[in-house]
């Protein structure tokens, strides 16, 4: 690809924070457009600690860090706040101390604003002073439920927001009035993209002008992370490898979807792309092995597993292509045999019809000749007697009608001669 045609990807790093049960992890999956995070409908958080994943969307390279849900029923109130602080600290370390472009706090439509959610937001503000006003975005899940409500009341989302009570309005004001509605259950691809576009547009218009949120706490976390050069380098390599692995897997899934859904897909182009993905997997595995570790890390297992998946798919496609070629050759051979059979039948029928017409004509001419010239009966009888053995041994399907006519003619003439 030429330099002029290279698309510059804009990095967007997002931190998800929210009460357990608000659909926080599902939001991460919706943003990344894949099942990146484990989800649960129970009151026990599906995410333990932090988890992060990557994806590419349009000209954005998106990284989402999901934290353990605040309000886990397994913890006391004090433990919940402490746990949230630990999760955010882990998130900062997982982010290499770079910070986040936006901190997204999830709420759920239909649920009242609880004390737990207020405590969580207060804890976030203590850890990230000023983060809400410059980098914070409220994200309300349950867009499908709101749509049902909208159909009944006719109230659009922004009007609904303005109709809420003081507590909600005060919270929204802390976020600079920024709130976006998400439907994590929609199957409509256009709606999925539209809500991602709205979120990215809101992130692009943050007062931070695209700058990451960093402060003393971030710097301290980064310093802690970089105390051991070797350990930090390994951590950064693992993170970079994981990002590359996620992007490669997304590209493979895109190619597989095109191959399976589009009949006119260019198989040669897809095969070239799959081979490039294999080559890139080999590069990543080589980079990890050059670190000199005796045992494979979790990241390396993931790369190896991904390479195996791609290779098995390519092999299956090749075998399928060979079997398909054999099947097509067999069908073509059968079609040729059938066509030859049809042609032979048509020829046979033509000969039978032609022989019948010829025989009838000969019979009519013979009868006319006998009527006009009775003396010719003896000559015709001799000719018929000479042709009779030949006609009896002729091809049954072709000359049978003609033979029958001559035989009948011979018998008629014989009877006429006997009467005389």
pLDDT tens-digit map of 92-122: 766 666 778 999 999 989 887 777 777 777 7
Task: In whole angstroms, give the CA distance from residue 91 to residue 99.
Answer: 9
Residue 404: partners with Cβ closer than 8 Å, 6 or more residues away: 359
Confidence band for 231, pLDDT divided at 50, 70 and 90: very low
Buried b (16+ CB within 10 A) or exposed e, 268-299: eebbebbeebbebbeebbeebeeeeeeeeeeb
What does the longest C-alpha to C-alpha distance in the chain come to? 138
Across 7-16, 161-170, 184-193, 217-226, the highest mean pLDDT is recorded for: 184-193
Q: Which two tokens stand for residue 289?
A: 């092995």
Q: Which two tokens stand for residue 227?
A: 């105390």
Task: In whole angstroms, give the CA distance from residue 111 to residue 71.
Answer: 14
Q: Which two tokens stand for residue 270?
A: 């897809």
Strand pairing partners for 297?
none
Computed over every residue of the chain, the mean pLDDT equals 73
pLDDT tens-digit map of 288-316: 666 655 444 555 666 777 777 777 777 77
Q: What is the pLDDT of residue 203?
A: 94
Angle formed at CA 360 by CA 357 and CA 366, multiple of 5 degrees: 140
Confidence band for 212, pLDDT divided at 50, 70 and 90: confident
Q: What is the pLDDT of residue 361?
A: 73
Residue 39: partners with Cβ closer than 8 Å, 6 or more residues away: 23, 25, 26, 29, 46
pLDDT tens-digit map of 322-341: 666 776 777 777 777 778 87
Task: Please state which CATH number belongs to domain 3-225.
Answer: 3.40.50.300
Q: Taking 50 as the threshold, does the pLDDT of residue 60 lie above it?
A: yes
Beta carbons of 39 and 141 less than 8 angstroms apart: no
pLDDT tens-digit map of 393-402: 554 544 555 5
Ranges of beta strands (E only) in 4-131 are 10-18, 50-57, 60-67, 102-108
Task: In whole angstroms, give the CA distance from residue 358 to residue 231.
Answer: 102
The mean pLDDT value for 356-364 works out to 71
Confidence band for 275, pLDDT divided at 50, 70 and 90: confident
Q: What is the pLDDT of residue 145?
A: 92
Confidence band for 232, pLDDT divided at 50, 70 and 90: very low
């Amino acid at each position: 690809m030429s330099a002029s045609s290279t698309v510059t990807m804009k990095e967007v790093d997002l931190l998800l924070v929210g009460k357990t049960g608000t659909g926080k992890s599902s939001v991460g999956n919706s943003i990344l457009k894949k099942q990146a995070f484990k989800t649960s409908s129970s009151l026990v958080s599906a995410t333990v600690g932090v988890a992060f994943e990557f994806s590419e969307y349009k000209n954005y390279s998106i990284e989402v860090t999901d934290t353990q849900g605040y309000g886990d029923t397994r913890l006391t109130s004090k433990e919940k706040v402490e746990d949230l602080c630990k999760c955010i600290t882990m998130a900062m370390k997982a982010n290499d101390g770079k910070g986040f472009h936006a901190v997204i706090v999830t709420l759920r439509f239909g649920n009242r604003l609880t004390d737990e959610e207020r405590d969580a937001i207060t804890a976030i503000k203590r850890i990230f002073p000023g983060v809400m006003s410059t980098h914070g975005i409220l994200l309300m899940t349950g867009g499908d439920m709101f749509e049902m409500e909208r159909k009944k009341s006719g109230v659009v989302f922004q009007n609904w927001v303005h109709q809420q009570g003081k507590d909600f309005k005060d919270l929204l004001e802390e976020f600079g009035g920024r709130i976006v509605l998400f439907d994590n259950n929609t199957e409509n691809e256009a709606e999925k993209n539209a809500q991602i576009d709205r979120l990215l547009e809101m992130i692009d218009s943050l007062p931070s002008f695209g700058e990451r949120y960093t402060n003393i706490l971030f710097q301290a976390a980064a310093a802690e992370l970089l105390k051991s050069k070797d350990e930090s380098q390994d951590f950064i390599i693992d993170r970079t490898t994981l990002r590359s692995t996620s992007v490669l897997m997304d590209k493979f899934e895109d190619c597989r979807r095109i191959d399976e859904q589009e009949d006119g897909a260019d198989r040669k182009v897809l095969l070239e792309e799959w081979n490039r993905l294999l080559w890139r997997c080999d590069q990543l595995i080589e980079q990890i092995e050059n670190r000199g570790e005796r045992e494979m890390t979790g990241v390396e297992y993931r790369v190896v597993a991904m390479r195996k998946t791609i290779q098995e798919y390519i092999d299956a496609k090749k075998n399928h292509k060979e079997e398909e070629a054999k099947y097509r050759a067999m069908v073509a051979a059968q079609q040729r045999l059938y066509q030859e059979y049809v042609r032979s039948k048509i020829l046979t029928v033509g000969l039978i019809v032609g022989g019948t017409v010829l025989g009838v004509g000969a019979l009519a001419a013979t009868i006319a000749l006998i009527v006009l010239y009775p003396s010719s009966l003896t000559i015709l009888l001799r000719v018929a007697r000479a042709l009779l053995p030949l006609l009896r041994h002729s091809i049954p399907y072709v000359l049978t009608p003609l033979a029958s006519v001559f035989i009948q003619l011979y018998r008629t003439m014989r009877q006429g001669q006997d009467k005389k």
